[in-house]
Amino acid sequence: MKLLSVNVAQPKEVSYNGERIRTGIFKKPVSGGTMMRRLNLDGDGQGDLSVHGGIHKAVYAYPMEHYDYWKRELGRDDLTYGQFGENLTVEGLLEEAVHIGDVFRVGEAVIEVSQPRVPCFKLGIKMGIPEIVKPFLANGRVGFYVRVLEEGEVRAGNTIERTKIGDGEMTVKEIVHLRHFDNANTVGIEKAINLPALSPSWRNSFEEILVKARGSSR
């Protein structure tokens, strides 16, 4: 497993449907070492802190293996690291093999997987394809967020070492499928709720789904 690129951007305003939208999704690769902090990477920022950033979504990682898929699917050859708004472009960390709560050492930093990424309309702005949001979620190639357990310098080329498998061993792929496509699976949802490393926002969503499911079964 390897870190291929570190990508950052400061928020900027763009036009969208006649409005000015502030977003930090336009990430670009940086050279040399970058400090990974509790809330983000040096040089990085989020446009709307009510839905982005924070301890549980400090850094976003995306597998480079998906780039070939999107190149074929979209018929594009201009996709470069940071294209999907990721801070870390990684190799060997696919959603079906990474668990909520997995802990990794990358460079001098230690990170813990907290939740999948669910795309918003800003991905459509970045890609120039408003309709990409739905298939991006549906095919499960979403990447994942991490919280920073130990701050430290990271750089492209760092080896990524898994030092712990998350309690419950539920993968990122399982979690995103449960929340968006398998709400009737109350057993799986109960298991997800009890994952200690799952971000509070996702746990709350699962709790709401469970309440609705139990209410409709009466």
- DSSP codes of every residue in 29-70: E--S-EEE-SSSBTT---S-TTTS-SGGGSEEEEETHHHHHH
Q: How far apart are CA 61 and CA 73, in angstroms?
A: 21
Q: How far apart are CA 44 and CA 25, in angstroms?
A: 10
| Mean model confidence pLDDT for the chain | 94
pLDDT at 130 over 80: yes
Which residues on neighbouring strands pair with residue 91, listed in sequence order? 2
pLDDT at 215 over 80: no
Which residues on neighbouring strands pair with residue 192, listed in sequence order? none
Confidence of residue 85 (pLDDT cuts 50, 70, 90): very high
Q: What would the mean pLDDT of 57-73 be, rounded to a whole number? A: 96
Predicted local distance difference test score (pLDDT) of residue 179:
95
The model's pTM: 0.94
Q: Tens digits of per-residue pLDDT, 18-28?
A: 889 899 999 99
Predicted local distance difference test score (pLDDT) of residue 18:
83
Which residues on neighbouring strands pair with residue 111, listed in sequence order? 104, 148
CA torsion 73-59-26-92 (nearest 10°) is: -30
SS3 104: strand
What residues does each domain of the chain span?
A: 2-167
Q: Tens digits of per-residue pLDDT, 150-188?
A: 999 999 999 999 999 999 999 999 999 999 999 999 999
CATH 3.40.50.740 assigned to 2-167:
no
Comparing CA positions, the residue from 133, 140, 148 lying closest to residue 94 is 140
Are 124 and 25 spatial neighbours (Cβ–Cβ below 8 Å)? no
- Amino acid at position 35, single letter: M
